[in-house]
Amino acid sequence: MFKKIIAVLLIGLAIYWSFDALLPNTISDLETAKTSFSTQRALVHLKEISKNEHYLGNQSHAEVRAYIVKELQKLGLETQIQEGYSMSQWGNLSKPKNILAKINGSDNSKALLLLTHYDSNPHSSFGASDAGSGVVTILEGIRAFLAENKTPKNDIIILISDGEELGLNGADIFVNQHPWAKEVGLVLNFEARGSGGPSYMLIETNQGNANLMKEFVKANPQFPVANSLAYSIYKMLPNDTDLTRFRADGDIDGFNFAFIDDHFDYHTALDTYNRLDRNTLEHQGSYLMPLLYHFSNANLNNIKSSEDYIYINVPFFKTIIYPFSWIIPMLLMAMAIFLALITYGFKREVFIAKDILKGAIPFLASIIISGLIGYFGWEALKYIYPQYNEMLHGFTYNGHSYISAFTCITLAICFFCYHKLPNSNGTANLLVTPLFFWIVICAIVAVELKGASFFIIPVFFGLLSLFLMIRQKTPNLVLLALLSIPVLFIMSPLVKMFPVGLGLKILFVSAILIALIFGLLITLFGFFKHKKRWSYLFLFFGIGFLVIAHFNSKFTAENPKPNSLLYVLDANEDTAVWATYDDVLDVWTEEKLTSNPDQSNILSKNTIGSKYKSSFTFTKEAALKPIAKPKIEISHDTIINGQRQIAICVTSQRNAERFEVFSDSSNVFKSFIVNGIEAHLDESTGNVFEHRLNNRLFSYYVADKEPLDMILKVPLNQKTELQIYEASYDLLKNDLLGVQERQENMIPKPFVLNDAVVIKTNVSIK
């Protein structure tokens, strides 16, 4: 009994340590040495930067830029502003204004670039985490570095970019237009997709990561959180950072450092100074300082590599790395050892074929049942709580309670599935099927998802446990618990990482992973006499977490509901409607849309600025208001080489902040120049805007009140139609419309055009 208690405590301690080692536990204060990073000093900057929404083009954006420039100049750095138009691959056009500075090194070598962005997401986010945290990490880190009064070997370039939220526009003009870009050997980029949790390191490279990982290990950050699986998944997702432009356009390698927890704050009005986790900011600083010192003196000419490395962080050892070339040999070795142990077990009459087959049933049942409950359980919860659908990023305020609930329910299922099987004699038979499936999974990832090949590490410890169980009828449970620690160190954080990073729809993946982990831990749990009682205990806790989630399912002032409302005026038809992206209306939206809104409208054909491809859900006829319409001028219309060239200038009469331009897919465009920037040419067809979604051509985010200038070439006899939506973010400020302020338990919905007064104008060129 004593050994069982010790074993359980070791398991609990390993799980706790696997999470505790991810983040610093103390916060550096204002008394921290001047040569060291101080989170409290960084927070002084953050409070100033995040006072207001500061998206590209508004007044607060200019004020934040001026503040950052002033702070860099206080450090004795000469600054410059780079500006110019850029159109992203997403079709977003803007005129970013990058902030640049440089610390000169002693050698004529490649430069280290520190990167983040200072624009917040339009239009309601305060940008404290994304990416004010990155700005202040660099400001404080550079201050501490300069306090050493040592000249680095490499130049250090500081780029606080602009327009990242719109389409990586600032990074685009730096990489493709600024002469310093050719000097860059490596980039350290600081980002955020939430307001807390550990910061994950992700590599951006066109080639192998071997040299990058070797140097990362040499730099020896204190709390590395990195695994090659995360980057393999990241590359599959439609997410980019400024670092993407460096890799794609400049073939420049780099490291991303981004935290992703508390994802419900991402791009919302909740991304504030108060909600940023202080430990998370400390974590960013713990990355920057050792990496800054190391890479400012490393040989950045030799960063490129043709070889890839597997990498994973574990407590005590920090970052473990090994080459991709080891994947197949390690897999073959595991297979050979497994087959040898199977032969050895039968030879010693420990294994019984019938018992191995019986042991496969609870293992497979626990995986299947847990996966199904994880998948359909979340779908059921969304049906019970339809308000969850209003959170487009897929992670609810009570999301951590759901992770805990499904973890406990999965453990209850696992214990219950195994409760009728032997408690001691024959436990070795129960481990055969889990090890077989783990090896099969490792074989699959070795071919399809090489970044996950560190899954083989727990397999070797499982094989060692199997050997002990063959050799000893009553193996030492404490020793078996110690051999279980590697799987817990490596896999436990992934259980939380998947739903936090990818949304609660991925709960079923976490459930399956827990069942797989449990299968390896059966070496220990197989000796528990009262597995059914453990099942009931975890079920009790699972239900308890569901109850906690239920009581936190309502929207409150601290956890407000995202909602949306727009006033859309059709200048050609002289009609107007109220419109929303919401599935569930509330008292604020019903004031204009009523309790009986229209469920379909021509507007739904055009998705205006929705990251998640959401279209309008409801509209309602609205009264026409005397809102100034844009001035549209066709300055020339000529025929050149058998094609029609037309120049159109659209000028806002009300300081609009955004234009969306659409055209029916039947319209062909041979070329399209917007504010001097040429649209991407599809070489296979010789046209531009060939693969447009919902008829969208591009979006233009206005800075400096500059008009929208378009020069387009179309086939000679084509009747060209453009739909231009001109938007201003002043719905609540426009006295003509009478929209009241939101209640305390509401915020503007992110990822869509929101709180906007929109004027739609058709331009027909016959």
User: pLDDT class for 422, splitting at 50, 70, 90?
Assistant: low
Element at 247 (helix H, strand E): helix 242-250
Ranges of each domain in the chain: 32-301, 327-551, 558-766
**Residue 152 DSSP SS3:** coil
Give Rg (Cα) of the chain: 29
**How far are the Cα atoms of 179, 185, 287, 305 from residue 299, in angstroms, in the given order?**
21, 9, 19, 13
Q: Any long-range contacts for 448-452 (C-beta under 8 Å, 24+ apart)?
A: 449/229, 449/232, 450/228, 450/232, 450/308, 450/310, 450/324, 450/327, 451/227, 451/228, 451/229, 451/230, 451/231, 451/232, 451/233, 451/310, 452/228, 452/229, 452/232
User: pLDDT class for 71, splitting at 50, 70, 90?
Assistant: very high
**pLDDT value of position 528:** 81
Domain 32-301 has CATH 3.40.50.720: no
**pLDDT value of position 211:** 95
> What's the CA gap between 565 and 588, in Å, rounded?
9
pLDDT tens across 714-738, in order?
999 899 999 999 999 999 999 999 9
CB 69 within 8 A of CB 59: no
**pLDDT value of position 411:** 97
pLDDT tens across 213-270, in order?
999 999 999 999 999 998 777 777 666 899 999 999 999 999 999 999 999 999 999 9
**pLDDT value of position 529:** 82
Task: Examine the pLDDT at 526 and tell me if it is beyond 90.
Answer: no
* Residue 544 neighbours by CB distance under 10 Å: 14
CB 618 within 8 A of CB 582: yes
**pLDDT value of position 41:** 98
Element at 464 (helix H, strand E): helix 456-471
Q: Is 195 left (phi over 0), alpha (psi -120 to 50) or beta?
A: alpha
In degrees to the nearest 10, what's the CA dihedral of 27, 29, 31, 35? 70
CB 93 within 8 A of CB 679: no
CB 520 within 8 A of CB 485: no
Can you tell me the mean pLDDT for 515-544?
Answer: 93
> What's the CA gap between 164 and 170, in Å, rounded?
6
User: pLDDT class for 600, splitting at 50, 70, 90?
Assistant: low
pLDDT tens across 622-659, in order?
999 999 999 999 988 899 888 999 999 999 999 999 99
Task: Examine the pLDDT at 607 and tell me if it is beyond 70.
Answer: no
Query: In this predicted model, which residue has the larger pLDDT, 424 or 101?
Result: 101
* Residue 553 neighbours by CB distance under 10 Å: 17
**pLDDT value of position 239:** 66
Max avg pLDDT among 125-129, 392-396, 447-451: 125-129
DSSP string, 324-369: GGGHHHHHHHHHHHHHHHHHHHHHTT---HHHHHHHHHHHHHHHHH
Task: Examine the pLDDT at 425 and tell me if it is beyond 70.
Answer: no
Which positions ≥6 away from 333 have C-beta within 8 Å? Answer: none
**pLDDT value of position 421:** 73
* pTM score, whole prediction: 0.94
**Residue 469 DSSP SS3:** helix
pLDDT tens across 283-323, in order?
999 999 999 999 999 999 989 999 999 999 999 999 999 99
pLDDT tens across 101-117, in order?
999 999 988 999 999 99
> What's the CA gap between 616 and 380, in Å, rounded?
24
DSSP string, 97-142: EEEEEEE--SSS-PEEEEEEE-PPPTTT---IIIIIIHHHHHHHHH
Secondary structure tally for the chain: helices H, strands E: 19, 27
